[in-house]
Structure 1
Amino acid sequence: MISAFFIYSLRGELIVSKYVKLSVQKSMAEVFRIQVINNLDVRSPVLTLGSTTFHHIKTTGNLWLVSVSRSNADSAAIWEFLYKFSVLLKTYGLDSETELKDKFMTCYELLDIVLEEGVPMDTELTNVAAKMSIKPLMVPDTFHNSSDNTGSGSDRIIPRSGLLKRRSSSFISRSSTNEQQSNIPWRRGGIKYKKDEVFLNVMERISILVSKDGSILKSYVDGTVDVTTHLSGMPVCQFGLNDALSVTSPFQDYPVGTANKNAIPKAAAGSVMLEDCKFHQCVQLDKFQNDRTINFVPPDGNFELMKYIVRENLNLPFKVSPIVTVSRSSSIEYRITLKSLFPSKISAKDVQLRIPVPPETVKCQFSTSNGKCKFVPEESAIIWKFSKYQGLTENSLSATAFPVRDVQSSIDQWSKPPMSLNFDIMMFSNSGLVVRFLDILEKEKNYNMVKWIKYISKSGAYEVRY
């Protein structure tokens, strides 16, 4: 990722240089000095010359920190590394030109620890200090406070996003509380609640495009698992889904609760193929890769545990069947059937079908079996609304749009935008994803955890052509 790393003084003197890749020429240091430091017109923090990219920041001690990349590198990870390393320099008293020249060997030792073969590694002070030959000048609490600073300028430290690799997953070990806290920067110690609760929301947005003949051209679900924890101490949670790759025994010991059986359709009883999974930094990734269980020490309060995409075997909540014809009088007739496909015990709310009409339309006549319907001229659309739509029910709409006279040619050229559907459904999973278990591994604290699990399905781009 990083081919070379330079530190310059304010006037452009090269103080520290580390060449990771042999492909980087020594002259690159001089190129940056000429193109950026000595060029008063440069304002961008990124400079690309051919296949070489310079990412650079200026520290509070007026030092230039420069990363050189020769490939398609992850800029977010490089920015995080530069800002974290600037705080490490300040912590070890190397944030000025004079101090850096006197203690340059300490800087090289820091680089050897946090930059391994060009890949940024763990930059948490407590982990870095344990590997250093000398101790930092600032205490760890001061470091964490400065890392959480949300100010502007070079003092602002990017929150740890999980892009940097962790060398160790020892945060779930049964070591002392102090050691656990030092490895878990996202959770403070000493948290106590009278009632231990976890609120877990599986939120999904389904996007679908249906062709004129009723075939599905594309369909996918964007999902997130949002968690709110009110847990005492330093709990280690274990969380599992009916992921298609979970072929071993973890799910067999955790039967699905009665609430899930009543709420989730039978299609969810199988497995779901998850794609593009992204996790919060608290998740122990090696456990997920090995046995598909999600182990984590949660932050206190609300956070996003994971994101995912599902493209196969989706549970479609609605079926829209439109018939649109143009009469001899240039009016357009609509015959639309809207059918809900989710269980009858569930109801959708705020259901809205948007039906486009030609821009030249001056009035509409319509009749519906249920719901409210109105013509919105400024949007060139008929809006069909339901405050509540019960599962396994069907409703129909008949409408006629009357355009301005003698506009047959415009109607023939009308692009016919697709109809779009919006809805919210509680306790329904479009992907069939089910939370199989959520438990606390540390039983010695006698946890009486109360779990609240909710499934929320919403519409994304739910469109139907006609």
Structure 2
Amino acid sequence: MASSIYFCDSKGKSLLSRDYKGDIPTSAIEKFPFLLVEAEEDQANATPIIQFNGINYLYIQHDNLYLLALTKSNNNVAQIFLFLHKIINVLTDYFKELEEESIRDNFVIIYELLDEMMDFGYPQITEIKMLKEYITQKSYQLERRSKKNQALGPPSAITNAVSWRSEGIMYTKNEAFLDVVESVNMLINPQGKVLRSEILGKIKVKSHLSGMPDLRLGLNDKIINAENNKGVEMEDVKFHQCVRLSKFENEKIITFIPPDGEFELMSYRLATSLKPLIFVDCKIEKHDKSRVVINTRIKAQIKKKSTANNVEILIPIPEDADTPKFKYSHGSVKWLPEKSLVVWKLKQFQGGKEYSMYAELGLPSVTIEDPQFQLKRPIQAKFQIPYFTTSGIQVRYLKINEPKLQYQSYPWVRYITQSGDDYTIRLK
């Protein structure tokens, strides 16, 4: 696969490299800055693959760095790019910020990680949890656990089909926890009409199971049979590497041997028409060089038996507003001058309920014609609704089988719907 891996700065000059095959001369990297300039100039035909003198340059960009793979023979290009992105994920997890300085400060541990992640140009261990069991970092120095004291380690064979899980894991109480978390993004006009909506879903797993358990997860027909017009169509579905994709494609059943601890089993997106879960009706009266009056009404448009928790309504105000006065029926209201916001908080908001809030703020200098007064920022709503999914997805069963140990297991399932990063209501 890859003959060598290079980390380069923003100009394409090498910072650190690892040669796996020795079939490409080190002078080849000296051509990369010039090839990069030519590629940037030829925007019409620019690709992340450059061929020069029989050598393939495959690269990705991360902030001010280029991560580059060199190869001579024909290869699985998608696999090489996937590996480069995996390197970015691993190093970001180790160093928090991956940039030129962190590359220079941590070159020892990077070499160790590159040696564990690839052997003679072929990917080996790429699972972060497995790497952290074998390689640890402290004050920019590498520490290796001694084999005598190492409770868990990489599989005996690096090419093990279950490379994401160690052997010999034992728990006194075997449990598995599933969280189905759906984040709702929505754009609502002042009249309450939804202009855009989507659901970003994740199924998260926390596995405290002994041995090498085999799990079978069954979901309801709401999602799985969408192609037969019996449900909602999933888009951008992504699975953890532990999931047997052929089993899912053929039988619509999710089977897997889980990594130990927490991981994201699956993510998906649903572009579907929704009604507002939390609707905000906000009227703003503007008085020239005097004051601004805000009348806000919120309604929980969810089932009466459901409750939204930790609700926050963020209302934008002019930058120089001052001397706030508030009246409200429930919750608490705060003025955040550094963010030019009024924030209305409710710990619990039961379905079907409706509350109101009145705010008056002084405007010592701003006129109605001033751009500050033309509030273009939308209102943002934040909330969490437990025991509820917007899409209707449900876990029908989670079967756990460990053929050698044959223990009893206790699966737990929790559902949460929450506001996404873009749940907004336009002002009039």
Report the TM range for the smaller structure's normalisation.
0.5 to 0.7
1:151 Cα offset (Å)? 6.0
The residue number in structure 2 matching 1:66 is 70
Asked if residue 198 in structure 1 is aligned to residue 198 in structure 2, the reply is: no
Asked if the contact 2:183–2:201 (Cα under 8 Å) also holds between the matched residues in 1, the reply is yes
Q: For residues 16-35 of structure 1, what are the structure 2 equivalents within 5 Å?
A: 33-35=27-29
Is the alpha carbon distance of 1:246 and 1:70 closer, same or farther for their aligned partners in structure 2, counting shifts above 3 Å? closer
CA contact 1:206–1:222 (8 Å) conserved in 2:
yes
CA distance in 2, matches of 1:312, 1:424: 20
**Segment drifting more, 187-196 vs 320-329:** 320-329
1:75 is paired with a residue whose SS is: helix
Q: Secondary structure at the match of 2:294?
A: strand
- 2:272 corresponds, among 306, 312, 315, to 312
Question: What's the CA shift for 1:198?
Answer: 0.8
Structure 1 position 217 matched with structure 2 position 195: yes
Does residue 387 (structure 1) correspond to residue 347 (structure 2)? The answer is yes
**Cα offsets for 1:426-465 (capped at 9, x unmatched):** 2222332211221125578544221111112222222111
Q: Tell me, what secondary structure is at the counterpart of 1:409?
A: coil
Q: How high is the TM-score relative to the length of structure 2?
A: 0.67
Check conservation: 1:242, 1:271, Cα contact below 8 A.
no
CA contact (8 A) 2:382 2:423 kept: yes
Query: 2:81 maps to which residue?
Result: 75
Q: Secondary structure at the match of 1:408?
A: coil
Aligned 8 A contact 1:243 1:273 in 2: no
Where do residues 200-279 of structure 1 align in structure 2 (5 Å cutoff)?
A: 200-242=178-220, 244=222, 246-247=224-225, 271-279=231-239
Aligned residue among 362, 367, 376 for 1:416: 376
Partners of 1:398 and 1:341 in 2: CA distance:
21
Mean Cα displacement is larger for which, 400-409 or 231-240? 400-409
Report the Cα offset of residue 76 of structure 1.
3.7
Cα 1:378–1:247 shift into 2, 3 Å: closer
Shift of 1:311: 2.0
Asked if residue 425 in structure 1 is aligned to residue 385 in structure 2, the reply is yes
**Which range moves more in the overlay, 391-400 or 320-329?**
320-329
- The alpha-carbon deviation at position 193 of structure 1 amounts to 2.9
**Residues 344 and 71 (structure 1 numbering): CA distance in 2 closer, same or farther, change over 3 Å?**
same
Q: Match of 1:293?
A: 253
Structure 1 pair 449–326 and aligned structure 2 pair: CA distance change class (3 A): same
**% identical aligned pairs:** 29
Alignment check: 8 A CA contact 1:351 1:422 kept: yes
Amino acid at match of 1:75: F
2:118–2:124 Cα contact (<8 Å) kept? no
1:396 is matched with which residue?
356
Q: CA deviation at 1:33?
A: 2.7
Contact persistence 1:315–1:432 (CA under 8 A): no
Q: Distance in 2 between matches of 1:372 and 1:211?
A: 25
Q: Give the 3 Å change call, closer, same or farther, for CA 297–421 of structure 1 in structure 2.
A: same
Give distance in 1, aligned partners of 2:386 and 2:132: 42
SS at match of 2:165: coil
Give SS of 2:242's match.
Answer: coil
Q: State the SS of the aligned residue for 1:456.
A: strand
Distance 2:190 2:77 in 1: 41
User: Residue 200 of structure 1 aligns to which amino acid in structure 2?
Assistant: L
Aligned equivalent of 1:368: 328
Q: Is the 8 A contact 1:55 1:78 kept in 2?
A: no
Q: Rg bigger for which structure?
A: 1
3-state SS of 2:382 partner = strand
Partners of 1:194 and 1:333 lie apart in 2 by 61
Measure the CA separation in 1 of the matches of 2:424 and 2:118.
Answer: 54
Cα deviation for residue 295 of structure 1 reads: 0.5
Contact 2:3 2:21 in 1 (8 A): no
RMSD: 4.5
- Aligned residue number for residue 407 of structure 1: 367
The Cα of 1:276 is off from its aligned counterpart by 1.1
CA deviation after TM superposition for structure 1 residue 282, in Å: 0.9
1: distance between equivalents of 2:383 and 2:196? 19
Q: List per-residue Cα deviations over 1:110-152 (Å, max 9, x = no partner).
A: x7xx6xxxxxxx7579xxxxxxxxxxxxxxxxxx889943569
Residues 79-118 of structure 1 mapped to structure 2, 5 A cutoff: none
Counterpart among 116, 135, 141 of residue 149 in structure 1 = 135
Residue 339 (structure 1) shift:
0.8
Q: How far apart are 1:84 and its partner, in Å? A: 9.3
- Conserved 8 A contact 1:330-1:408: no
Asked if the contact 1:373/1:385 (under 8 Å) is kept, the reply is yes
What amino acid is the match of 2:135?
N
Q: For 2:245 and 2:20, how far apart are their aligned partners in 1?
A: 39
**Match for 1:371: what amino acid?**
G
Distance 1:298 1:148 in 2: 19
Give the equivalent residue in structure 1 for 2:306. Answer: 346
Cα offset, 1:370, TM superposition: 1.4
Among 421, 424, 428, the residue aligned to 1:463: 424
Distance in 1 between residues matched to 2:401 and 2:3, nearest whole Å? 42
Q: 2 CA distance for matches of 1:86 and 1:379? A: 47
Q: Which runs of 5+ in 1 are unaligned?
A: 8-12, 18-28, 57-63, 91-106, 115-121, 126-143, 157-176, 249-269
Q: 1:145 to 1:318 in 2, by over 3 A?
A: closer
Q: How many residues are paired up?
A: 349
Task: Report the residue type matching 2:71 in the other structure.
Answer: S
Kindly state the Cα deviation for residue 378 of structure 1 after the two structures are TM-superposed: 2.7
Query: Following TM superposition, by how much is the alpha carbon of 1:417 offset from its aligned partner in structure 2, in angstroms?
Result: 1.1
Aligned residue type for 2:192: G
Matched-pair contact (CA < 8 Å) for 1:358–1:411: no
1:355 aligns with 2:358: no
**Residue type matched to 2:240 in 1?**
H
Q: Distance in 2 between matches of 1:78 and 1:33?
A: 21
Cα separation, 1, equivalents of 2:131 and 2:288: 74
